[in-house]
Amino acid sequence: MAGKTLYEKLFDAHAVRQQEDGTALLYIDRHLVHEVTSPQAFEGLRLAGRKPWRPGAMLAVPDHNVPTTNRAEGIVDPVSREQVSTLGRNCEEFGVQEFPMADLRQGIVHIIGPEEGFTLPGSTVVCGDSHTSTHGAIGALAFGIGTSEVEHVMATQTLLQKRSKTLQVRVEGDLGPGVTAKDVVLAIIGKIGTAGGTGYAIEFAGSAIESLSIEGRMSVCNMSIEAGARAGMVAVDEKTIEYFRDKPYAPTGEMFEQAAEYWRTLKSDSDAEFDKVVTLDATRIAPQVSWGTSPEMVAPVNGKVPDPGAEPDPVKAEGMRKALAYMGLEANTPITDISIDKVFIGSCTNARIEDLRAAAAVIKGGRVADNVTLAMVVPGSGLVREQAEKEGLDKIFLEAGFEWREPGCSMCLAMNADRLEPGERCASTSNRNFEGRQGQGGRTHLVSPAMAAAAGVAGHFVDVRQA
Amino acid sequence: MQPFTTHKGIVAPLDRSNVDTDAIIPKQYLKSVKRTGFGPTAFDDWRYLDPGEPGMDHSKRRKNPDFVLNKSPFDRATILLARENFGCGSSREHAVWALTDFGFRAVIAPSFADIFFNNSFKNGLLPIALKEEEVDALFGLVKDNPGAQVEIDLPKQTVTAPDGTQYHFDIDSFRKHCLIEGLDDIALTLEHREEIKSYETAQVAHTPWLFNDLRGHTGG
């Protein structure tokens, strides 16, 4: 019998019971909650007279709606304010721990989970947010769910799940200088497509993935959903274990060593079989820039905007035409000829301390270009912000003309006041370039933090390897 | 949940692939703390020419005359026809609530994104995956006969086109059962309460670091 994949190990370890039709009732160890997808679930509990099964397995934080400036003044938008205060009231009523807006530990839900050691290797993690896949980077089974499932987890601590197929994405070889985790995942999505992982749980593996830091692996797993996979994960190694020493909610002392011993088993067996394997050559990955309205529409920075006329599939060609029209781009334009109006460095994809260090390293000494009307850095959490300030990164950003903001989801989805105006073009470290995602009519180009910073200084995309 | 057995209705052709949940319901409407009222702002950016905000009277906004759901008879459609990877992106269940609130009972496409697909079943919206050539044929039929009705029979797992062609679709038996009966799956899961508790008890011993809140007492 073949060995087990990491996904199968995690799934089997959490199966409370197997149903006859092959689905399993899966136990959920960690439930992250934010203000947007939880109010209807709490209301559902209330209407049915139910209580959360295990409030101690939940951690709540407002992130989508929170302002990133003048936070002391509270939230100006009354609708946003009501949603954030509803979260506070619900957490109080149901006994759920919350990091409110004024708490130093507040931040983007997927940044604070690992940062606090609340999400741990070997755990099952859910959240009413598709980027929950981020936590797979630490060897957890983590995936996004809808609000009805949020309510189901609150009430039962379980979810009914069908076993996914398994896809191993191997990235082999050394990444070139200036090529980051973000470029790796954009290249993967470009290769397998936005539905390439639908129905699969992805395990990212290979020497290039192993060489990434835990934070880099989080950027990769974060965008699994952009390839259609609800869950993405990386095997536990010594880096993973070291990452969790001294995290507030992680085990300590003898229990840490006991946990670490278990965590070391969280890797696919050498004879495990995947349903599908895709391999990429890391040495051939260049810094990536998305040119369209789907994350699969990416090109290397030294490439050109593709020509729909050269696409043989008519449905695909029509999609490309619509994307180019929305983006205001001509086919065959060199990527480095695309000038930008705004820069957004932030989001659950790229707002950890290493991301800010990478951006600052590129900016150092430079100034935001005259044609760039707004360049902003939004740290992923209060603790990331504090660390960056200790290192003096805030000064580098501010001196270069970047705005230094308070933590939240911000312009990744523009639920707060941070947004693009119609027609504005943005170099963004976020995860989705959908129409209207960053503001109605806004045009998003997904890039790494270093590439976003370099574009901010040049006023157009540049190859960070030559910057 | 509203049960689903059979349904006959007008099909609206939305000829796009990768329709994402941001397009189905833009972010500004996610600030609502309710499950209802999302219908008037379904596909907001495509449906209206002026920008929308929560709390507006959407009936007074300028409609985009070229958008399919603004054209008669598709403004009365109850079945949505789309291309591959429908519902990709964000996990927002508001996308499903927007479609059901508009009046849709089913979406037919060659493929769906996983989270959207799951969310649909929780709200009595039936996502039907047909083969690409079958979806193509339906697009053709609807184009030639706008307003022609399509019949969906969930117990028989069939879609009957206006020309009488019948297409079979697959569906997970448990989901089919829940949808036909309109079952509350939380109540079903809680029937296994004791199994969940004994799992927890075993895990407290096996991975105690995941149960700081439970060590020393039992769950539930």
| Cβ contacts of B218 on chain A, cutoff 8 Å | none
B200 contacts A27? CB cut-off 8 A:
yes
Pairing mode of beta strands A158-162, A23-27 = antiparallel
Give the span between the Cα atoms of B181 and A254, in whole angstroms.
51
CA distance B216 to chain A (A): 14
* Confidence grade of residue B214 (pLDDT, cut at 50, 70, 90): confident
| Cβ contacts of A314 on chain B, cutoff 8 Å | none
* Confidence grade of residue B219 (pLDDT, cut at 50, 70, 90): very low
* Confidence grade of residue B218 (pLDDT, cut at 50, 70, 90): very low
pLDDT at B216 over 60: no
Of B72, B69, B90, B93, which is closest to residue B81 (Cα–Cα)? B69
B185 contacts A195? CB cut-off 8 A:
no
pLDDT digits (tens, 9 = 90+) for B145-202: 999 999 999 999 999 999 999 999 999 999 999 999 999 889 999 999 999 999 999 9
Q: CA-nearest residue of chain B to A148?
A: B122
* Confidence grade of residue B48 (pLDDT, cut at 50, 70, 90): very high
B220 contacts A53? CB cut-off 8 A:
yes
**Contact predicate A319/A291, CB 8 Å:** no
| Cβ contacts of B28 on chain A, cutoff 8 Å | 415
B32 contacts A54? CB cut-off 8 A:
no
CA distance B16 to chain A (A): 7
pLDDT at B197: 97
B91 contacts A37? CB cut-off 8 A:
yes
A230 contacts B196? CB cut-off 8 A:
no
Of A163, A169, A235, which is closest to residue A196 (Cα–Cα)? A169
B93 contacts A147? CB cut-off 8 A:
yes
Q: Which of B17, B23, B111 sits opposite A435 (nearest CB)?
A: B23
pLDDT at B17 over 70: yes
pLDDT digits (tens, 9 = 90+) for B55-96: 999 999 999 999 999 999 999 999 999 999 999 999 999 999
Predicted TM-score (pTM) of this structure: 0.97
pLDDT at B220: 36
Q: Which of B91, B96, B209 sits opposite A130 (nearest CB)?
A: B91
CA distance A206 to chain B (A): 26
A56 contacts B212? CB cut-off 8 A:
yes
**Contact predicate B131/B170, CB 8 Å:** no
| Cβ contacts of A157 on chain B, cutoff 8 Å | 196, 200, 219
CA distance A415 to chain B (A): 6
B84 contacts A195? CB cut-off 8 A:
yes
pLDDT at B51 over 80: yes
The domains found in chain B, sorted by start residue, are 6-183 (3.20.19.10)
A/B interface, count of CB pairs below 8 Å: 194
Q: Which of A53, A155, A436 sits opposite B26 (nearest CB)?
A: A436
**Tens digit of each residue's pLDDT, chain A (467 residues):** 689 999 999 999 999 999 877 799 999 999 999 999 999 999 999 999 999 999 999 999 999 999 999 998 999 999 999 999 999 999 999 999 999 999 999 999 999 999 999 999 999 999 999 999 999 999 999 999 999 999 999 999 999 999 999 999 999 999 999 999 999 999 999 999 999 999 999 999 999 999 999 999 999 999 999 999 999 999 999 999 999 999 999 999 999 999 999 999 999 999 999 999 999 999 999 999 999 999 999 999 999 999 999 999 988 999 999 999 999 999 999 999 999 999 999 999 999 999 999 999 999 889 999 999 999 999 999 999 999 999 999 999 999 999 999 999 999 999 999 999 999 999 999 999 999 999 999 999 999 999 999 999 999 999 999 86
Q: Which of A64, A198, A262 sits opposite B111 (nearest CB)?
A: A198
Instruction: Count CB atoms within 10 A of the CB of residue A335.
Output: 24
| Cβ contacts of B194 on chain A, cutoff 8 Å | none
| Cβ contacts of A54 on chain B, cutoff 8 Å | 213-214, 219-220
A436 contacts B23? CB cut-off 8 A:
yes
B32 contacts A79? CB cut-off 8 A:
yes
| Cβ contacts of A250 on chain B, cutoff 8 Å | 209
- Candidates B31, B97, B203: best to mutate against A (most CBs of A within 10 A) is B31
HEC letters along chain A = CCCCCHHHHHHHHCEEEECCCCEEEEECCEEEECCCCCHHHHHHHHHHCCCCCCHHHEEECCCCCCCCCCHHHCCCCHHHHHHHHHHHHHHHHHCCEECCCCCCCCECHHHHHHHCCCCCCCCEEEECCHHHHHHHHHCCEEEECCHHHHHHHHHHCEEEEECCEEEEEEEECCCCCCCCHHHHHHHHHHHHCCCCCCCEEEEEECHHHHHCCHHHHHHHHHHHHHHCCCEEECCCCHHHHHHCCCCCCCCCHHHHHHHHHHHCCCCCCCCCCCCEEEEEEHHHCCCEEECCCCCCCEEECCCECCCHHHCCCHHHHHHHHHHHHHHCCCCCCEHHHCECCEEEECCCCCCCHHHHHHHHHHHCCCCCCCCCCEEEECCCEHHHHHHHHHCCHHHHHHHHCCEECCCCCHHHCCCCCCCCCCCCEEEECCCCCCCCCCCCCCEEEECCHHHHHHHHHHCECCCCCCC
ipTM of the complex: 0.95
pLDDT at B217 over 50: no
pLDDT at B215: 65
Mean residue pLDDT of chain B comes to: 95
| Cβ contacts of B176 on chain A, cutoff 8 Å | none
| Cβ contacts of B195 on chain A, cutoff 8 Å | 16-17, 25
Q: Which of A21, A123, A435 sits opposite B210 (nearest CB)?
A: A123
Q: CA-nearest residue of chain A to B96?
A: A146
